Structure 1
């Protein structure tokens, strides 16, 4: 609900309105709190998959690299947000859009880096750079390609992303991937820390109001951290060295890890850019409807897509991961009723400041993997739920059910049994075992190829135990 003490109803709906600074600063920091944990989690997961993250054999040697990835996640989320709020020529929607590191690309990145250490990062950043440029190019045609990505496709892809990641949440909550096979893995001690986070998050989400509800995951992780500290789970190994070595401010280094262009990475990142672009269109529409009560203009949609891509490409140069608009902040705008882009600019500047101070990343690095696992279980479960919500917009006749069934079976099956395509060339094998790309391609191809005007028995709604409730409505973010 809009707060009349911040401005008049007309002012609150105006993106160019700036509230008084003493009100604008807390509102901006609210946006950072709502997205902070989700923003740094992909970097932590990537480091863990590569083998230099939590509890890895790299030990303290991997500490600076993981800290740097966390640091860049904050810095370039802030910079990409400025592209949206302030703009630069045709780049940017000039709306209160918060950018952050995207979960969607994690299933693409994990097969590329699995167990390969820091040496695998150049391939990732090559994919981020090219994928970002491709994403920006989509801005010129975004209005004409949306037909190929109906809720049947986008809902399937988002659901697949969540399903691909829930395993990571369980592994983290049980003690982390490197700990598998050890007696401590899955111990009550590990699970207790994760469950504290889950229960606190659920309690705040459903019984608190306002900012406590919006930032439930962040507060849950903070409470879990305190609990872990009390039972001796928090280790400060490497942080003293890091704090002693790092200055107050550390400027990012272009191509710090080098850059390498791999066909698998480029194809994977470009394909996921389609999905990310359509999600951004939905977020822009959600912001203008929720905050200003109007439809987004074509110029705003194009500018937002350009900013998505440019922000991602710039991030790849400096060792950060792909950026996209964050839906949780769309909901925050609807809740506060404050449409000011300058409020979000203040939040972006706060993110940039955190990204320039390496000690912030070092502190985040001390969060026990089990505590992070509790937050990840909630976040990735919500990704699956968002995909299911998007699928509720699908008209569930037999045609669409067959498309969904085949795409899900092949995509999820290849995720669960990657050895099924072990004889394919490496590039194709990596793309296939992501699961998401084959599922998306099958769904897009069948949706375009199969006629809508099938015999009546194929187009009627399915009823009985296998049916949904027909066409639903999507309320809220992804």
Structure 2
């Protein structure tokens, strides 16, 4: 009995420093392209100079790191303490582009600060909805997350959207080599080597891409060694009711998506996610978003890209992702190092992305395998319709183009659409099952004939 009590849960396991660094770096490489994409888009919309754009990227990386540390390590009742990496939500891109053009960066940061405060205060109330997330819902959401992300990996493999040589055989070949390397490493090795299969695959891809001229280190020499993120660098924030409402709507979407990501990771690492855990996680999202507005960055959420990496590697320790947070902070303070990481070609990321995002979808299917489809035939409709509606923005991005402008943030997020559909259909067919305890929800989902 005494021995059992002293066993450390996998999610709380502290690994040796070298392993922490390599596993953490693997997470950073997997999310880096997505992390810098939003600041690049906003900088272009705001007409920032090259130097200002570089500062914005570094500020974003720095705040990504702080947000990740908050979520993985936790302080007080803030942070869910699972291996979840934080990044800028793409749900906020459209309203922020509009704000950048109309009021500049101060208008963005003002609305981000208020929306972050709203999220922090609303977290305890929103988390009560966890009783509406039995396995039939969580499995559907996790599957939608994975399938929705697959086009991102495929586009990376083809060279990235907007690339004039999109679909080049060279790009696809490099991505295929990365994917093959990951599969071979998992097949031939066990233990530590197999756990860093993605990192090794990315290194193989980088080496292969160099002779093809896909790797550009030209910006490294000109990048400064040190860059300090100072609060309100672009001016004191301005506050506009319309912009604040738009950003709060974004954060409501973020809370739905974060809940799905938290539950997905909880399933993978074997940690029961209850109402208090969800509250702590959403509070961390809110606090990180407030810090984002102060430190010249944006709204933060769980990065779904890295959910697949947890499932693919089987490394469950939250301290691994906390190390990722430290690496991101360092990258934000040392632009030259960040520029080196940024030199990783997009097709290389594509090979890894296809594997990681596919793993997320497979994890959702694994969760759905616990659901009783024989005694309760309505469950098949919940899964089918929620996935079908969730994939509408992925399959036909212009499907909702004539809907009101205020609804576009929701309509363009397949994860949010699918989540809402699954929740509503489950409530319609099965009622409100359970009271927030995930084990009880699992039992109910299997007995709701």
One fold, TM greater than 0.5?
Answer: yes
1:28 is aligned to 2:3: no
How far has the Cα of 1:228 moved from its partner? 0.9
Displacement of 1:372 in angstroms is: 2.1
Alignment of 1:190-229 (within 5 A): 190-229=171-210
The equivalent of 2:141 in structure 1 is 157
Q: Does 1:399 align with 2:371?
A: no
Residues 12 and 309 of structure 1, relative CA distance in 2, 3 Å threshold: farther
What is residue 441 of structure 2 aligned with on the other side? none
**CA 1:301/1:46 → structure 2, altered by over 3 Å: closer, same or farther?**
closer
Count the aligned residue pairs: 420
Match of 1:101 in 2: 86
1:65 to 29, 53, 62: 53
Is 2:116–2:299's contact at 8 Å kept on the other side of the alignment? no
User: What corresponds to 2:437 in structure 1?
Assistant: none
Alignment of 1:242-281 (within 5 A): 243=223, 246-254=224-232, 256=234, 261=243, 263-277=245-259, 279-280=261-262
Structure 2 unaligned runs (5+)?
433-444
Query: How far 1:220 sits from its partner (Å)?
Result: 1.2
* Structure 1 residues 153 and 348, CA gap change in structure 2 (3 angstroms): same
Provide the C-alpha distance between the structure 1 equivalents of 2:389 and 2:9, rounded to a whole number of angstroms.
47
Distance between the aligned counterparts of 1:417 and 1:347, measured in 2?
35
User: Which sections of structure 1, spanning at least 5 residues, go unmatched?
Assistant: 1-7, 454-469, 473-478
Q: 1:89 aligns with which of 59, 76, 79?
A: 76
Between stretches 149-158 and 257-266, larger displacement belongs to: 257-266
Alpha-carbon RMSD across the aligned residues, in angstroms, is 4.3
Q: How far apart, CA to CA, are the structure 1 residues paired with 2:99 and 2:42?
A: 5
- More helix by proportion, 1 or 2? 2
Alignment partner, residue 354 of structure 1: 331
Deviation at 1:225, TM superposition (A): 1.0
Contact 1:128 1:322 in 2 (8 A): no
C-alpha deviation, 1:314, in angstroms: 2.0
Q: How does 1:27-46 map to 2 (within 5 A)?
A: 27-46=19-38
Give the Cα separation in 1 of the matches to 2:399 and 2:23.
Answer: 43
Tell me if structure 2 keeps the 8 A contact 1:148–1:444.
yes
- 3-state SS, counterpart of residue 420 of structure 1: coil
Range that drifts further, 249-258 or 218-227: 249-258
- Measure the CA separation in 2 of the matches of 1:148 and 1:11: 34
Does the 8 Å CA contact 1:92/1:307 hold for their aligned counterparts? Answer: yes
Distance 2:108 2:356 in 1: 23
Q: CA deviation at 1:267?
A: 1.7
Change (3 A) 1:437 1:262: farther
State whether residues 393 and 414 of structure 2, in contact with CA within 8 Å, keep that contact through their aligned partners in structure 1. Answer: yes
Q: How far does the alpha carbon of each residue in 1:325-352 deviate from its partner, in whole angstroms, 9 at most, with x for none? A: 865787799868x78x6x8766644442
Q: Deviations over 1:421-464 (max 9, x none)?
A: 332221213421323333222222222233569xxxxxxxxxxx
**Structure 1 residue 358, shift from structure 2 partner:** 1.1
> Does the C-alpha gap of structure 1 residues 377 and 177 become closer, same or farther in structure 2, counting only changes over 3 Å?
same
Please tell me whether the aligned partners of residues 141 and 364 of structure 2 are also in contact (alpha carbons under 8 angstroms). Answer: yes
CA shift for structure 1 position 41: 3.3
Return the offset for 1:224. Answer: 0.7
Instruction: Measure, in 2, the Cα distance between the counterparts of 1:315 and 1:226.
Output: 35
TM-score normalised according to structure 1 size: 0.71
| Contact 1:52 1:118 survives alignment (8 Å) | no
Q: Residue 378 of structure 1 corresponds to which residue in structure 2? A: 355
